[in-house]
Amino acid sequence: MSSEDAPHFSSRDAVVCRGVGKTWAAGTKRAHEALTDIDLDIKPGEFVVFLGPSGCGKSTLLYLIAGLEDATKGRVWSFGDLVETPSPQRSLIFQETSLFPWLTVWENVSFGLSIRGAGKEERRTVAAEALQRVGLKAAMDKRPDELSGGMRQRVAVARALAMRPKVLLMDEPFAALDVQTRARMQDFLLDVWRDSGASVLFVTHHIDEAVALADRVVVFTSRPGRIKTIVPIDMPRPRNLFSREAENLRIKLTDLLRDEVDRAFAEQEAFAVPA
């Protein structure tokens, strides 16, 4: 890319956002601004959680970083390259299952390799290795509908890992799981993250989840989404989530979010009652 409009950042940064904004249905009556003025730097190997009320645009930002949507304002770079299209370097994991129901587990995991035209032997080997890392090698030949929700999300993680991504983008990946499964999945994700060395950008509206996982928590305002503040968490891992420190963090994040949720509610009520 040209150096002229290059912002001040290290090209080693995993993700850099400068003045990023997104307006949906821009130029039409239904236009609404989802995100505005996002400046953010994410280091390689960093675990960052996006926390905010529903509809604050945190998922939108994830899509912009993935390259699945174009920003209406500003730019996104990843490791020095301008993000214009999706890339296998930045894998996205969705809230609901996104496995291909007509493929077996291992075929799902090696889908990206088959896109590149890899042979069956290679694909099976890579799939086995990735599934080993998520503890599901035994389920290789199953079909997605034979698995539980938690297992399906682990397969989705394995599928993302098989691409050896440098950035793992996760859009409320555990939201549909029950509380116990979610706690296990968080531990599992931390293991995977440590092994892979990738940066993780994790969207959630659960404060507990943010405290359990993040190196830094990016707190968003309600619509249009802005970065309200960034809260670093330097608790050592494995974290004791019942410690005084964790409790204080939860209180702090709850306070930060409360204003935004109140504001979002007020807006929705104003919207619901015609003037």
Partner 1 sequence: MAVVTRDSEPGAAAGASRPAAASRLLASMAGLDWLAKIWWAFLSISLFAGLWELCWAMGWADEKLLPPPHIFLSNIAEQGRYFNTATRWQVGQSMTEGPSAFESVLITGAATTGRVFAGLVIASVLAIAVGVLVRYYRFFDRLVLPTITLLSPVSPIAWLPVAIFLFGIGNAPAIFMVVVALFFHMVLATINQIDTVNTNLINVARTMGASKAQIYGRVIVPAILPGMLQVLRMNLFGAWMVVLVAESTGVGYGMGQVIMLARNTFNPSLVFFTIAVIGVLGFTFDWLLRLAQRRILYWLPDTAERLRVL
**Binders in 107-126 for partner 1, by CB under 8 A:** 111-112, 114-116
The contacts of residue 161 (CB under 8 Å, 6+ apart) are 91, 130, 133, 134, 192, 196
Binding-site size for partner 1 (CB under 8 A) equals 41
Identify the H or E element spanning 38: strand 32-42
Tell me which long-range contacts 189-192 makes (C-beta under 8 A, separation of at least 24). Answer: 189/157, 189/213, 190/47, 190/237, 190/238, 192/133, 192/134, 192/157, 192/161
C-beta closer to partner 1: residue 100 or 265:
100
The contacts of residue 211 (CB under 8 Å, 6+ apart) are 217, 233, 239, 241, 246, 249, 250, 253
C-beta closer to partner 1: residue 143 or 216:
143
Stretch that binds partner 1, among 22-30, 90-98, 223-231, 263-271 (CB under 8 A): 90-98
**Min separation Cβ 99 and partner 1, Å:** 8
**Binders in 133-162 for partner 1, by CB under 8 A:** 135-136, 138-148, 150-151, 159
**Min separation Cβ 107 and partner 1, Å:** 10
**Min separation Cβ 242 and partner 1, Å:** 23
End-to-end CA distance of the chain: 50
**Min separation Cβ 184 and partner 1, Å:** 6
- Kindly state whether residue 164 participates in binding partner 1, applying the rule CB under 8 A: no
Considering only 18, 90, 152, 166, the residue that binds partner 1 (CB under 8 A) is 90
